[in-house]
Amino acid sequence: MRGLWRALLELLVPSACPACDAPRVPGQSLLCGSCALRVRRCERLRSVHTAIAYEGAGLELVRRFKFEHRSDAGAVLGAWLAERVRELAFDAIVPLPRHLARVRSEGCDPVHALARRLARDTGIRLESRALRRARLTPPQTGLSLAARRANVAESFAAAPGALSGRRVLLLDDVATTGATLAEAARALRAGSGAKAVLQVAVAGTPASVL
């Protein structure tokens, strides 16, 4: 509850760095200078377009956005995401869906929130019903690449013809091996009629920590 109240307060009057909670002066950038130096830009993780590396202050921003519902962290991540995809050609945004049971248990869907923000920033239509989770899968943490692929196999289903002829930006928050995004992209190509699917995540896990 304390985290929720803090998130609401920061939404109204951001007063601290969203990554380290250092005091900030109104009018300054949300991210403090020290944390800004601890963010490493990362433009690609294999086939996935990314904005930052999932390490240092970047990791802390994602963690606070996902688990503490910090809107100020989401604002920083959303700005970097919009900047990163500006050079990409797409006319639909599809968030990587979470299973309804997981959304209910955790009380939020951070990827959908990022997708809504990106749709506002770019003016590109959000297609949140074009892809759904066909089954609940165990967490991917700690699994090998082969195990990750097996874990998410056939776990997505696309709405038939929902994206016919369109270039789709498929969005996730963090890409580690890219297995989940790859499977979701396969489902979209097979069932939605999409012309192309661009796999995008805000953050990519550096290969050195896999």
Query: How confident is the prediction along the chain (210 residues), in pLDDT tens digits per residue?
Result: 555 555 555 455 558 999 999 998 777 888 999 999 999 999 999 899 999 999 999 999 999 999 999 999 999 999 999 999 999 999 999 999 986 766 566 667 899 999 999 999 999 999 999 999 887 776 667 667 777 776 677 778 999 999 999 999 999 999 998 999 999 999 999 999 999 999 999 999 987 444
Number of domains making up the chain: 1
Predicted confidence at residue 25, as pLDDT, reads 78
> Considering the entire predicted model, what is its pTM?
0.86
The neighbouring-strand residues paired with 104 are none
Backbone angles phi, psi at 2, to 5 degrees: -60, -40
Predicted confidence at residue 155, as pLDDT, reads 77
Angstrom distance (rounded) from CA 82 to CA 45: 17
Predicted confidence at residue 77, as pLDDT, reads 97
Predicted confidence at residue 13, as pLDDT, reads 53
Predicted confidence at residue 32, as pLDDT, reads 93
C-alpha of 90 from chain center: 17
The domain that holds 113 is classified in CATH as 3.40.50
Looking up tokens 């490493």 gives 40
- Between CA 101 and CA 132, with CA 151 as vertex, the angle to 5 degrees is 45
Predicted confidence at residue 7, as pLDDT, reads 53
Looking up tokens 């996935």 gives 48
Structural domain containing residue 12: 2-209
Predicted confidence at residue 37, as pLDDT, reads 95
Predicted confidence at residue 138, as pLDDT, reads 63
Predicted confidence at residue 210, as pLDDT, reads 46
Tell me 207's DSSP state. G
